[in-house]
Amino acid sequence: MRSAYDQGVEEKRSKFLHRHMGQPAAVRDSIELDRVKLPRECVRLKVAEAVAKWQQLDGGQKPEPRPLAGGTPNGTYHGERDEDDLEDQETLASQQSQQSQQQRTGPIRDFSVAMPRLSSQEVDLRLLPQQVKAALDFLVAMNPVQVVPDAMSDSMPVLLPPQQEAHRGRRTLVLDLDETLVHCHGQPTELKGASPCPDIFLELDSGNPLMPMVLRANLYVRPFSRRFLRFAAKHFEVVVFTASASIYADRVLDYLDPGRDLVAHRLYREGCTEIAGGHFKDLRRLGRPLKDVVLVDNSPLAPGLAPDNGLLVTSWYGDDQKDVELLPLMFTCFRMLREKSWPEYLAQRYGFRDFLEELRANAAARATRVATQASMVRMQMIWSSTGAVTQVRR
């Protein structure tokens, strides 16, 4: 039997497509929550379903209302609670007590907000998405912190100006763009499973005067991206840091944030630190205390220069219109307002740096074993050759 949410989605989506098929993006932009205005009871059910996994990892205790640290210079949070501030927390807390007794089974096959601490459960490296495996292989083969130590990072230009008066005392939430908030798919190939109506159609100049051409693509916005941005803008200094070019990123961000009142700063590919072809987002260069900075990204490579400040989410490729990854992310960010040091909290909650160190130690041990075995084979060949010569001479 389908859930109330699924029934609501199908009914509302059918009406939406029938009514707005072929309409410009501005019409569809007015429709929120998975591009369909769902009944509130359906939204509540979906929120509870999305956050249940995250909650069961956090002890199963109902949060008590109390002042939250990190909202103002004196450490007291005075924000209002409205729809975007998780008005459903009481419902979620009751769901938490029901789900906290359930144990996750099976190995971790992808990184997500809801995953347990990486040392507490097996990670099946063979089943991880190819992009994640490639990023981990890069980080294991070369520790970027050793390539760009703190002293070298401190000598590089600061990427952000001082905080604006409106954001004074707020902590800094850095967001990736592609595969975290949106997905861009080149035309004319069809994206299987995607919405039949892309959010916007992009036409971008290649920028090459020798080979002028227009690049066309469809852009899909991840479900709940706008709601998450509205929530984040009320509590944090929001920075979008992308490895994409500004000519593309600005078009996307102007669509997501047309009033430019949600995203305080935009950083592009040129702000990344390139190491052996990999683009790292060096949070040490933001000009903000690291204890008050977190990077939300779908790639493990991006936070490699400050792994304790990374919060990894599942990649979104536009083909899952029921994706809810940003809801537990919203819940996590809301909870992090209480924490004095974000790196300490994330290190305890996910242990990404410890996970990388364990992978490097295992790789070094394997390399040592291989080298030892190769040395033994060479010695055996030498001994065998020496013995044969001796016998001939005798």
Written as tens digits, the pLDDT of the chain (394 aa) is 555 555 554 565 555 445 544 444 433 443 333 333 333 444 455 455 545 544 554 444 444 433 333 344 333 333 334 444 444 444 444 334 333 333 356 899 999 999 999 988 899 999 999 999 999 999 999 999 999 999 999 999 999 999 999 999 999 999 999 999 999 987 656 667 666 688 888 888 766 677 777 888 899 999 999 999 999 999 999 999 999 999 999 999 999 999 999 999 999 999 999 999 999 999 999 999 999 999 999 999 999 999 999 999 999 999 898 999 999 999 999 999 999 999 999 999 999 999 999 999 999 888 777 666 666 666 666 666 655 444 444 4
Q: In the annotation, is 319 catalytic?
A: no
CATH number, domain with residue 70 = 3.40.50.1000
Residue 382 resides in a domain: no
Contact 211, 330 (CB under 8 A): no
Does residue 371 lie within any of the structural domains?
A: no
Residue 261 annotated as catalytic: no
User: Exactly one of 34, 84, 88, 178 is catalytic; which is it?
Assistant: 178
Residue 175: phi and psi, rounded to 5, are: -120, 135
Instruction: Assess if residue 94 is contained within a domain.
Output: yes
Residue 16 lies in a domain: yes
Assigned domain for 221 exists: yes
Q: How far apart are CA 194 and CA 184, in angstroms?
A: 11
User: Is the previous residue joined to 63 through a cis bond, with omega within 30 degrees of 0?
Assistant: no
Could you list the residue range(s) of the whole structural domain that residue 303 is in? 4-350
Residue 193 belongs to some domain of the structure: yes
Tokens of 372: 């030892």
* Residue of 84, 176, 282, 297 marked active site: 176
Number of domain units in the chain: 1
346: its two tokens: 């994330």
Residue 35 belongs to some domain of the structure? yes
**Predicted TM-score (pTM) above 0.85:** no
Within a domain: 369: no
Q: Which amino acid is at 360?
A: R
Residues 6+ apart with CB under 8 A from 35: 13, 16, 28, 195, 197, 199, 223, 321
**3-state SS, residue 85:** helix
Separation of alpha carbons 125 and 363, rounded Å: 13
CA distance 57 to 104: 9
Alpha carbon 376 to its chain centroid, in Å, reads 45
